[in-house]
Amino acid sequence: MPKETYIPCLLRLFRQYGYDGATLAKISEATGLGKASLYHHFPGGKDEMVEAVLNFLESWLDQNILQPLGKTGDAYTRLQQMCDRLNEFYEGGEQPCLFAVLLLGSARDVFHAKVKTLFQTWINAIAQVLIETGMQPELAHQRGEDAAIAVQGALILAQGLDHPAPFRRVIQQLPAQLCQAEMSDNTPRTTL
């Protein structure tokens, strides 16, 4: 089988155990591959396995988030589609974020640049949608960061509470929050 066959399994393992906790023994057991076969498919070992997973996530991000956000049309609808895809990917808040896991422990130094690029790409895509509605670029970028904070924070809280409700609430409310017009001193918020 091609090594791409094992990417979903590796994603689950690294999400669940992190880089340090996903031992070769656990990977071998979960994939059904002996250590020799693992090194045949991934000669660079665990680092190459994580790189393969990150490449998969980059492709997923492009197809499911960036391309839909980049289309023309109603900003709210595009942001809602983004949230729907995130909800599916994180199984309604039941699955942790691999990015958060990879920014801890010994994996941080190895994978930080790639994770940073993926976050920046996502934030910039959200900001571009909001700029197209007439929002000031600085505020649009802040809203993109706020979206990443909200999603990532909700995922961590859902895992910590062992209950997905915070994530589901954030995903449901996020499109409207992102599209709220800039608030001046005495002006109530309105939706763009």
What is this structure's pTM? 0.86
Mean residue pLDDT across the chain? 90
Go through the domains of the chain in sequence order and give each one's CATH number: 58-179 (1.10.357.10)
For 137-148, how does the pLDDT look when each residue is reduced to its tens digit (9 = 90+)?
Answer: 999 999 999 999
pLDDT at position 187 over 50: no
- Under a CB-based contact definition with an 8 Å cutoff, are residues 151 and 158 in contact? no
- Confidence at residue 188, expressed as pLDDT on a 0 to 100 scale: 43
Q: Could you tell me the pLDDT band of residue 183, with boundaries at 50, 70 and 90? A: very low
- Confidence at residue 108, expressed as pLDDT on a 0 to 100 scale: 84
- Under a CB-based contact definition with an 8 Å cutoff, are residues 178 and 130 in contact? yes
- Confidence at residue 80, expressed as pLDDT on a 0 to 100 scale: 96
Q: Is 174 exposed, middle or buried (0-12, 13-18, 19+ CB in 10 A)?
A: buried
- Under a CB-based contact definition with an 8 Å cutoff, are residues 167 and 150 in contact? no
Closest among 102, 90, 80, 103 to 191, alpha carbons compared? 80
Tokens of 161: 């509470």
Residues 6+ apart with CB under 8 A from 189: 180, 181, 183
The DSSP symbol for 41 reads H
For 111-154, how does the pLDDT look when each residue is reduced to its tens digit (9 = 90+)?
Answer: 889 999 999 999 999 999 999 999 999 999 999 999 999 999 99
Q: Which residue has the higher pLDDT, 108 or 187?
A: 108
